[in-house]
């Protein structure tokens, strides 16, 4: 089976983890700050807060921006459920902005219309969470301009997009957002096994996320309510969580980060091969990122015939091709239907979902593997065509 995504672990990664295993610190040591500094330098941003998952990073970002009961948060229906769940964790109400059915990215037109309607009924969101699907940045300049009019904060869910650029700057720079979040799950561009990171230019937001990451506990005398009792003393000043990243994970992430340019080149080459191999098939290929460079976390095709998707998917799986679908629209999930959402609410997302299949995309994907994918896809779509004829 050729998987749709897979981590690339080499001897340098293993050595980095072993070094930590033989050190004095398995957690709360020097590697996490070192990893944070490296990512902040890569993204040219002031602060980076490493955590145990991108979901945790999204939750901390919402908390730092003051999301609470009575607030409204909007995100994309085409994403993993964490992009919406994070607002619910804070007691907020969630809603969605429809996507462009050709890209799966948040539609600026839909956002503008929804904001105008929300303003008339005084139900504007406190925070917007655009999602950089597949490694392509959303149109953040336009999104930011709209949010600025209504004083809405922005969290970029860039779980797919470390290494991508937008308008000449790295995604994660927070040029058009308050906080940006990365994921380091094994199928992402780089991995810490499980892990994530929140980036920001704002020292107050960074301090809040750092505090909530570790139980709401401080050892800083300036933040305490009474004089310190001694070197051992700490205070819990807020209700926080244990969202810390371990030293082992940080060492792996730091090692992986050194090879990020190599991973990005390999993914771009794989995209170029796919564009050639698949160009004559009855489907739409993903377009290049607009106004930037994609990290190409996913390679999502759209079939011309939506009715054929299940048959094509099953044929590819039977041929040993580990395809997937990204994503089932969040508003159609049973839990969200209990909140009042239903099929038909976001037609752009539903049209996009109905046609998509994610083909294998990872750094170790070889040309021969891609030729195997292309042959299986040609056979599957050809079989569907002959059946319909």
Q: Which stretches of the chain score pLDDT less than 50? A: 383-389
CA distance 117 to 120: 5
Q: What pLDDT shows up at residue 385?
A: 38
Q: What's the pLDDT score for residue 384?
A: 40
Catalytically active residues, by annotation: 188
Please name the residues in contact with 22: beta carbons below 8 A apart, sequence gap of 6 or more.
none
Q: In what order do the strands lie in the sheet with 196-200?
A: 47-51, 196-200, 179-183, 153-157, 127-129, 72-75, 93-96
Contact 21, 248 (CB under 8 A): yes
Res 234: pLDDT: 97
- Mind listing the pLDDT tens digit for each residue in 75-93? 999 999 999 999 999 999 9
CB 333 within 8 A of CB 371: no
What is the structure's pLDDT at 164?
A: 98
Phi/psi at 81 (nearest 5 deg)?
Answer: -60, -20
pLDDT for 296 equals: 98
Q: In the prediction, which pLDDT does 255 show?
A: 98
- Tens of pLDDT, residues 294-344: 999 999 999 999 999 999 999 999 999 999 999 999 999 999 999 999 999
**pTM for the full predicted model:** 0.96
| 333-385 residue pLDDT tens | 999 999 999 999 999 999 999 999 999 999 999 999 999 999 999 999 984 43
């Amino acid at each position: 089976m050729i998987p749709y995504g897979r981590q690339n672990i080499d001897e340098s990664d293993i050595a980095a983890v072993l070094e930590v295993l033989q050190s004095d610190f398995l957690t709360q040591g020097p590697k996490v700050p070192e990893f944070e500094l490296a990512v902040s330098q890569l993204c040219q941003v002031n602060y980076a807060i490493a955590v145990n998952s991108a979901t945790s990073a999204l939750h901390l970002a919402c908390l730092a921006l003051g999301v609470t009961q009575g607030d409204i948060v909007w995100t994309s229906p085409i994403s993993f459920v964490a992009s919406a769940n994070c607002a619910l964790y804070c007691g907020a109400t969630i809603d969605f902005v429809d996507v462009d059915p050709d890209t799966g990215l948040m539609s600026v037109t839909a956002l503008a219309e929804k904001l105008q309607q929300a303003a008339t009924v005084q139900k504007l969101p406190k925070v917007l969470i655009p999602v950089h699907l597949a490694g392509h940045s959303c149109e953040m300049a336009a999104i930011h301009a709209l949010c600025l009019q209504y004083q809405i904060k922005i969290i970029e869910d860039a779980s797919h997009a470390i290494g991508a650029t937008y308008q000449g700057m790295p995604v994660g720079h927070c040029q058009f957002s308050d906080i940006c979040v990365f994921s380091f799950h094994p199928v992402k561009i780089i991995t810490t096994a499980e892990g994530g990171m929140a980036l920001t230019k704002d020292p107050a937001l960074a301090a809040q996320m750092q505090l909530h990451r570790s139980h709401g506990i401080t050892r800083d005398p300036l933040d305490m309510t009474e004089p310190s009792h001694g070197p051992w003393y700490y205070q819990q000043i807020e209700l926080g969580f244990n969202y810390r990243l371990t030293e082992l994970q940080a060492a792996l992430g730091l090692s992986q980060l050194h090879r990020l340019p190599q991973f990005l080149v390999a993914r771009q080459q794989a995209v170029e091969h796919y564009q050639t191999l698949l160009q004559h098939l009855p489907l739409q290929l993903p377009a290049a990122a607009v106004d930037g460079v994609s990290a190409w976390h996913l390679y999502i095709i759209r079939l011309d015939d939506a009715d054929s998707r299940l048959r094509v998917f099953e044929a590819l799986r039977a041929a040993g091709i580990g395809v997937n679908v990204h994503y089932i629209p969040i508003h159609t999930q049973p839990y969200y239907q209990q909140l009042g959402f239903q099929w038909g609410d976001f037609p752009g997302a539903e049209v996009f979902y109905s046609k998509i299949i994610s083909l294998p995309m990872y750094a170790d994907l070889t040309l021969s593997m891609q030729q195997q994918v292309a042959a299986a896809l040609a056979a599957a779509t050809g079989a569907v065509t002959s059946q319909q004829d």
